[in-house]
Structure 1
Amino acid sequence: MDQAEQDDQVPEGAIAVVGMSGRFPGAPGLDAYWANLRDGVCSLTDFDAPAHEVGSKGILADADRFEARLFGFNATEAAALDPQHRLLLETAWAALEDAGYDPLRAPARTGVYVGGSPTGHMLAAATDRGLAARIGATQVRILTDREFLAPWISYRLGLDGPSMNVQTACSTSLTAVHLAAQALLLGECDTALAGGVSVDSVRPAGYVHVEGGIFSPDGRCRPFDEKAAGTVPGNGVGVVVLRRLEDALAEGDPVRAVVRGSAVTNDGSAKVGFTAPGVDRQTAAITEAWAAAGLDPARAQYLEAHGTGTELGDRIELAAAGAAFADARGHGAGIGLGSVKSNIGHLDAAAGIAAFIKTVLMLEHATLVPTVNVTAPHPALASSPFRLVTRAAPWPRPADRPGRLAGVTSVGIGGTNVHVVLEEAPRRPAAAEDGGAPVVLPLSARTEEQLRVLCRALADVLGAPGAPSPAAVAHTLWTGRTPLPVRTYVVAAGAAEAAEKLAAGVRDPHPLGEAWLAGEEAAAPAAPRGVRRVNLPGYPFAGERHGALSLAPEAARASAPRAEAGTEAVRETGAESGTESGTEGGTEAGMAAGVAAALREALGLDATDGAGGGLDRTYFEAGGDSLTAVHLVGRMRDEFGVDVPIDLFLEQLTLGAMVERIVALRAGDGELDALLDEFEAEESGS
């Protein structure tokens, strides 16, 4: 059997990636994303922050812009709509266009599987009485709650397949890919959108570094580096379009890569704590995914790891992946290893889809891209089957089948582990040409400026080496774009001619083109036999800024502490909380009441619970955990000016006695000590 015959075979259970779209730190689109990855760019942004914060983040530019009218929202609704909803709607539209499908006339039975992160906008909207009075409490909820991310896409784009929100913390978006692939294999849908979004705030906001916590002390993420000390938050959004490979090939879809198998596991209780990662079930997720693919993990050439850059998290992931790929052979220096978090930060619910899209792009370009910020590889790599990729390099295609293969792993707080096996797209015969007959290329947008941007982008594609044929471009534009009011067209027989006319704005009269300009409902011309849809530049969104709601007053926002990952700092501080002269005169009683209230609030205790008001139990007896302890340390410092040692929460004393100890402390006397190392297993889980 020759290579062409092998490539014609469709593996059982294979899922095609036919479209992609994403916006990531430093990259408004996938072309920029790829260029940054290839060139080893760190897209984390440094900015001024209060003294107790680290001013660094993977910032998503223009995260508050939204072309509301394109999706049928009025200005009031658009301002209330959470930025995550806005971005996910536009990204879903762009992903369908990338697949060659009109977003408003997508294939029947198209499903949606997406998830998002908590946002400051959502929290602020839930407590904004004026907003509820203006548009109604129910409307506020459906415009801001992340449980409506998937339904809004289905509703506004008219998609009638399953519509499901997915939520597995940091592994959310890769879990969404797994669930979408399973739904396709089960016949629950014929096309599926999968991905995620994370935009905690549209404004730059730093984070609080706690020794032994999950955040980096210097604003840089160094996965699998000997100096790995924590991650950095980031914002982003990504969506992929999936179809069964046999359908995609039969219907002329542009296949970008193939999902060969995937699996999801959970650590259960076999780990140190709820937020801690585990080894065994991470290993199981990898081995089960490769078994589902019918492939030997030893054939892998690259692993895109979760790679948060926390010392414990990286060590556990190396142990888990090392066990799964222990039999890897024939790869010279080993399986390539990397993590996109070094480039863009930890995107929370969108982390997995950022890694997935990165890996698809590497397969497309046959290039391995570097993990950045590396000082020296982690010592544990020396005894592993992996080599950390630190510079861009060609990715040769193995002589044996299958071809280039990679795994993508994502891990979530709470223990949900996901692994996806990706293979390069099958090589297909060159599409049949139509003998150079002139074709009409129709273009449209909402404004003249957007139309000019679109014409320039398409001209660049058609003027580049390896440009698609005008016949394929015409077929894609006629069947894969929503007709909009501002229109133009060009007539061309070759790619170079089309590029020149698009750049110059030359329009030769043509009956079909003139009918298009007039807005007439003209049937798309039949494509020549064998012509397929191709990936082309999509709609150039140019929405207005709609801002985002925040609980923090504008004047206080710059100094308000950011206490937890994933939310903008929204808590106001002041004398009411006991921060003013907490040790003078009669204020100790007020401070004690404030500290007790903070403990009850964090632990969900009832002040009327018995004589002790819920404070007659130890911290862990009352349901406390390490993340809440770190939160309370920050809250005690910010609201009461007291540096509480975190080991206080482990001592066998009642919460009432803890209140007395905290009040007795003086600001600056307490230090976080070595016990945080014991908590590291729980803090470094995502």
Structure 2
Amino acid sequence: MTDALDGQIAIVGMSGRFPGARNLNEYWANLRDGVCCVSDFTASELLADGESEEAIAHPDYVPAKGYLADADRFEAGLFGFNRTEAAALDPQHRLLLETAWSALEDAGYDPAQGPARTAVYVGGSPTEHMLAAATDPSMTAAIGAMQVRILTDREFLAPWVSYRLGLDGPSMTVQTACSTSLAAVHLAAQALMLGECDTALAGGVSVDCVGKRGYVYTEGGIFAPDGRCRPFDQKAAGTVPGNGVGVVVLRRLEDALADGDPVRAVIRGTAVTNDGATKVGFTAPGVDQQTAAIVEAWSAAGLDPAAAQYLEAHGTGTELGDRIELAAASAAFKGARDVGIGSVKSNIGHLDAAAGVAALIKSVLMLEHRTLAPTVNCDGPHPELQSENTPFHLVDERTEWPRPADGPRLSGVTSVGIGGTNVHVVLAEAPERPANACPGATVLPLSARTDAQLAALTQALAETLQAQDAPSIVEVAHTLCTGRGAFPVRTYVVADSAASAVAQLTSTRRVTDPLGEAWLEGEDVTWPVQRGARRVSLPTYPFAGDSYGALSLAKRYAEPAAQQEQDIEAAIAAVLCEALGIEGPDVLGRTYFEAGGDSLTAVHLVGRMRDEFDIDVSIDMFLEQLTLAEMAALISAAKSPGGDDSLTSLLDEFEQEG
């Protein structure tokens, strides 16, 4: 590796689905135009998706979220899953598989025949589906406990991608709370520099539930009272939960340039630190190690932080989080002047494990379009931004991003996780490379699994070729011939220019070609080598899978209250008998100690009541002279009718500041 490129990592492909955006073109349009994509739900929408009337009636209930549409849809057959497996597979796994596929296609590689030594570093959030599956005896009975675990546990996010796409590099599921996906990018970059892999997929996914769901505002908590996130604003009062998924494809810059990859941006340096015990509490952020992460990343890049023009911050919009992040960044960027700052959380909410990659992709898109996208929901800058002690100004309007006279456009991206894991990435714009001229007419093959998908792909390609910055036709042909799979429904055009290709793609008339006709007949075609041609970013596969839904604990408790209480009481009695190793028609008439109970078993049962029924039981109950039947009834009575409230609280806790 040459000294000039040593340690530089190219982002050669990207894919993502975020609130209000089915793809990255829509994502950029929303960012560029300053659109807040947080949804406000009606009561009927919430009830239809399983929220309880009691929850909605809470005076502090906020019916808002960064909602991800169609998060339950999945093209299972493309990835080799049958319907039973697809229904059990966690929605996070489904979305991550499709997004990884699209990211490889965006990089110009056939996902079914990915590059050798490709690694996967990804992470995800806890989900309602996962929790419901783990506590559903009928699912365990149907497909087995091991299958339930490997189809739903986030521990297997990375291995499923590696397995279904045939990727044989390191495969690791990363978990650092809200900084998970940016930590995954750091680890992937390190693995590339160490030579552990030659290509890496990195990112994260967060889909706590697929339905429309709000949250309960708590004064002093992480969430905003009005369903809007206002990072670095004078009225900042909290964040809003959101769902999404993002994956980037990374290669060593030298390799990417040599192989003609579509370099979208360059990672110049990364760093990870942890606050340790230097902060006021486990969930609180800390100043010193946030500063250290930034300084170390820019040092690794061989750059002065003062050279930065923009910082995409973690930016939760909480009073404590914003204040600490501004203090840390101001110390790290000491000497810089007039650096823009913003946070994508204002647009889409806080995506938990996917928050970092959402911020990274935003920054790459801004570099590509040479435009700073606005942070929305702004009323006026945070008081700290009006101080002489900070080099930052809040970017609240779309702004042209001029290239500095002494170097490339440079951006920093920060992500912070509960528990103190701080990550910073230094980004630079991609090196300019002239497009290849078209040598003459060439075949553009297209294929899909259905007629409708082929029509969608054809239309998307035509729109791409009509754009002012459309790639050369020879590069388009090279990418379609070498970077896409061969599906049964096919078409092709022969063109020597973008205009000629568009004319044929949008009509039924086309020029014929022997190789193209063989392609139509379903043959395996060896396309001519386009010497010197590079891969380019083109429309990716238009997934059109069925809805496989998602498991919900709320639905499990939607039966009539009397039946629910009876079922829970019987289940509790069964657990008591199982733990005590007793059976028979009369055993429930015994007291706990008459049945052979002791203090250790009591501790075990307290844990099982909490884990399996979400009921907190005092250990003193086992010391009372109660029959097991009476004990089961009392424990069951402690279960509130809104059996899913504790789940919602648990998921809310996982979503909180990271």
Letter in 1 for 2:419: G
Kindly report which structure 2 residues correspond to 1:93-132, keeping only aligned pairs within 5 A, or say none: 93-132=101-140
Which residue in the other structure is 1:445 paired with? 448
2:463 is paired with a residue whose SS is helix
Say whether residues 1:535 and 2:537 are aligned partners. yes
> Which digits, 9 at most, give the CA deviation of each residue in 1:149-187, with x for residues without a partner?
000000000000000000000000000000000000000
Distance 2:359 2:175 in 1: 17
Which residue in the other structure is 2:347 paired with? 343
Kindly report which structure 2 residues correspond to 1:258-407, keeping only aligned pairs within 5 A, or say none: 258-329=266-337, 334-383=338-387, 384-401=390-407, 403-407=408-412
Which residue in the other structure is 1:256 paired with? 264
Relative to structure 1, the CA distance from residue 548 to residue 318 in structure 2 (aligned partners, 3 Å threshold; closer, same or farther) is: same
Distance 2:609 2:656 in 1: 26
Which residue in the other structure is 2:145 paired with? 137
Say whether residues 1:156 and 2:164 are aligned partners. yes
Kindly report which structure 2 residues correspond to 1:229-628, keeping only aligned pairs within 5 A, or say none: 229-329=237-337, 334-383=338-387, 384-401=390-407, 403-428=408-433, 430-435=434-439, 437-528=440-531, 530-553=532-555, 556=558, 601=610, 608=619
> Which digits, 9 at most, give the CA deviation of each residue in 1:321-364, with x for residues without a partner?
111011113xxxx1000000000000000000000000000000
Q: What are the ranges of 5 or more consecutive residues in structure 1 without an aligned counterpart?
A: 1-7, 561-571, 578-595, 614-634, 642-681
Relative to structure 1, the CA distance from residue 117 to residue 574 in structure 2 (aligned partners, 3 Å threshold; closer, same or farther) is: farther
Aligned residues: 580
CA apart distance, 1:465: 1.5
Alpha-carbon contact 2:306-2:335 (below 8 Å) kept: yes
2:403 is paired with a residue whose SS is coil
2:487 is paired with a residue whose SS is coil
2:28 is paired with a residue whose SS is helix
Letter in 2 for 1:18: V
Say whether residues 1:168 and 2:176 are aligned partners. yes
> Which digits, 9 at most, give the CA deviation of each residue in 1:257-279, with x for residues without a partner?
00000000000011111111111
CA apart distance, 1:466: 2.6
Which residue in the other structure is 1:3 paired with? none
Residue number among 22, 25, 28 corresponding to 2:19 in the alignment: 25
Which residue in the other structure is 1:48 paired with? 42
- State percent identity of aligned pairs: 70
Say whether residues 1:13 and 2:7 are aligned partners. yes
Q: TM-score of the superposition, structure 1-length normalised?
A: 0.81
1:460 is paired with a residue whose SS is helix
1:552 is paired with a residue whose SS is helix
Q: TM-score of the superposition, structure 2-length normalised?
A: 0.84
Of 468-477 and 250-259, more deviation after overlay is shown by: 468-477
Which residue in the other structure is 1:214 paired with? 222
Alpha-carbon contact 1:490-1:506 (below 8 Å) kept: no
Kindly report which structure 2 residues correspond to 1:589-668, keeping only aligned pairs within 5 A, or say none: 601=610, 608=619
Relative to structure 1, the CA distance from residue 140 to residue 598 in structure 2 (aligned partners, 3 Å threshold; closer, same or farther) is: closer
Of 602-611 and 486-495, more deviation after overlay is shown by: 602-611
1:346 is paired with a residue whose SS is coil
CA apart distance, 1:460: 0.9
CA apart distance, 1:524: 2.3
Relative to structure 1, the CA distance from residue 606 to residue 54 in structure 2 (aligned partners, 3 Å threshold; closer, same or farther) is: closer
CA apart distance, 1:604: 11
Alpha-carbon contact 1:44-1:344 (below 8 Å) kept: yes
Structure 1 outlier segments of 4+, above 3 Å? 8-11, 554-557, 572-577, 596-613, 635-639, 682-685
1:189 is paired with a residue whose SS is coil
Distance 2:192 2:565 in 1: 51
Residue number among 175, 185, 190 corresponding to 1:177 in the alignment: 185
1:553 is paired with a residue whose SS is helix
Residue number among 72, 78, 90 corresponding to 1:70 in the alignment: 78
Alpha-carbon contact 2:606-2:616 (below 8 Å) kept: no
Distance 1:251 1:267 in 2: 40
CA apart distance, 1:431: 3.2
CA apart distance, 1:610: 12
Alpha-carbon contact 1:19-1:95 (below 8 Å) kept: yes
> Which digits, 9 at most, give the CA deviation of each residue in 1:590-628, with x for residues without a partner?
xxxxxx979994999995599999xxxxxxxxxxxxxxx
Of 467-476 and 9-18, more deviation after overlay is shown by: 9-18
Relative to structure 1, the CA distance from residue 284 to residue 391 in structure 2 (aligned partners, 3 Å threshold; closer, same or farther) is: same
Distance 2:236 2:119 in 1: 39
Distance 1:282 1:124 in 2: 36
CA apart distance, 1:517: 1.3
Relative to structure 1, the CA distance from residue 235 to residue 483 in structure 2 (aligned partners, 3 Å threshold; closer, same or farther) is: same
Alpha-carbon contact 2:123-2:184 (below 8 Å) kept: yes
Relative to structure 1, the CA distance from residue 65 to residue 600 in structure 2 (aligned partners, 3 Å threshold; closer, same or farther) is: closer
Q: How much is the aligned-residue C-alpha RMSD, in angstroms?
A: 2.8
Alpha-carbon contact 1:307-1:314 (below 8 Å) kept: yes
CA apart distance, 1:554: 7.1
Distance 1:683 1:543 in 2: 28
Distance 2:622 2:384 in 1: 53
1:444 is paired with a residue whose SS is strand
Distance 1:462 1:599 in 2: 60
Letter in 1 for 2:546: E
Alpha-carbon contact 2:438-2:497 (below 8 Å) kept: no
Residue number among 194, 216, 222 corresponding to 2:202 in the alignment: 194
1:101 is paired with a residue whose SS is coil
Distance 1:114 1:472 in 2: 30
Letter in 1 for 2:17: R
Of 548-557 and 78-87, more deviation after overlay is shown by: 548-557
CA apart distance, 1:550: 0.5
Q: What are the ranges of 5 or more consecutive residues in structure 2 without an aligned counterpart?
A: 44-55, 570-604, 625-638, 646-653
